[in-house]
Amino acid sequence: MNFEEIYKNVPKPHIPEKLPVDLSSLYDCEVIKLISKANNAIGVYRGFLINTINPMLLISPLVSQEAVLSSKLEGTHATIEDFINYDAGNEVSISKDEMQEIINYRSALFYALDKIATISDNSEEGIHKLPLSVRLIKEMHKILLDNVRGKTKTPGEFKTEQNYIGSINEITFTPLSPELTLDYMTNLENYIHYDEVDLLVQAALIHCQFEMIHPFKDGNGRIGRLLIPLFLYYRDMLPVPTFYMSAFFEKDRSLYLQKLSAVSKNNDYGTWIKYFLEGVIEQAEINTIKARALLDKYNEFKEICVSDMSSKYSIILLDEIFKKPAFKAKHLQNTIPGSKATLYNMLDEFVSKGILQKDDKSRNATYFCPAILYLLK
């Protein structure tokens, strides 16, 4: 293989415009209609979450699904069933490295959720938290690449060597050079706090700019997709960061890359923004249906717990099931009050009521909730 010949034809590092960019010429009737429709769709989703007594109940199953789909865009092959099974401590046919990548993605999002203070949070607790910033992005990246395939690629640090997108035989895009990366990431951080005409357009530009910068040696796609829900949460558009775009991007990955490349090749922000807004509309409607179905199922099970269960701890167990829909009894021994016998009696009761099923192992059996698994497929 003639590397000299390959690198002779490599595109030069792309230098994007700094943000904000002038979008005044883009706001035609089509874009304005899309912005309105996208804001309405996400407004319905936001309203549903705000009126939910505990929207955090929904975050764990939805984050697990997003972690699987976002990682699939990077070449993993695990399904949501594989991930939930592995998370319960069972052997699966997918490599441990791949499964750990998905777990790390979920951990990075939960870490950010714990650390971020939303833009309107003036509470005592919020004072000690972080804005959505370069510092937090680096910390998330360090978690994302912990003990997986990219662990040798300086987790939590920006690239010091040029990176490329494509195969070794055909490099299709050369991101921003390492020398300019910090400057552009600082500009991106400033833009996160900028008052753009529309927050969804701003989210589209943040994701696109991050992908063109490609600041890390590895893990850029996953961090770039995490920035979408975290930005909407940080700017108070959502009460919890449970809005994910990976399903939309993953259903036609080549189209996703094509729309991104319209910006890098032709400075065509309009094509990317329209595509992104169409994705917001589609995913907001899907997310609303899925979140409502999960909440309806939770309320159905809660009614059974209140009316038909003998233990006063049954609601605590139900909440744990929604956090982790497949598990072994030992995982809950420090979470559920009472004795070991109390826990096993409750689990048997949940099985008898059809909330849980149990595999056929006589020891160390796995309990799982078929209803949640079905809704996450």
Q: Is 193 annotated as a binding residue?
A: no
214 a catalytic residue: yes
Candidates 174, 150, 118, 324; CA nearest to 222 is 150
Q: Is 74 annotated as a binding residue?
A: yes
DSSP code for 130: B
Contacts of 223 (CB under 8 A, 6+ apart): 108, 137, 140, 141, 144, 210, 216
Distance CA 151, CA 84 (A): 24
Q: Which one of the listed residues 14, 141, 207, 214 is annotated catalytic?
A: 214
Candidates 377, 47, 67; CA nearest to 244 is 67
List, edge to edge, every strand of the sheet that includes 366-368. 326-328, 366-368, 357-358
Please state the separation of Cα 321 from the chain's center in Å.
20
Q: Is 220 annotated as a binding residue?
A: yes
Which burial class, exposed, middle or buried, applies to 322 when counting CB atoms under 10 A from its CB (0-12, 13-18, 19+)? buried
Q: Is 43 annotated as a binding residue?
A: no
Q: Is 214 annotated as a binding residue?
A: yes
Q: Is 224 annotated as a binding residue?
A: yes
* Per-residue CA distances from 300 to 109, 317, 318 (Å): 29, 14, 11
Q: Is 6 annotated as a binding residue?
A: no
Q: Is 221 annotated as a binding residue?
A: yes
What is the three-class DSSP state of 195? Answer: coil
Candidates 196, 200, 180; CA nearest to 16 is 180
Q: Is 233 annotated as a binding residue?
A: no
Candidates 284, 278, 340; CA nearest to 313 is 340
**Residue 362, phi-psi category: left (phi > 0), alpha (psi -120 to 50), beta (remainder):** alpha
Cis ω for the linkage preceding 61 (within 30 of 0): no
Pick out the residues of the known binding site for ATP: 74, 214, 218-225, 256
- Write out the catalytic residue numbers: 214
Indicate the annotated binding residues. Answer: 74, 214, 218-225, 256
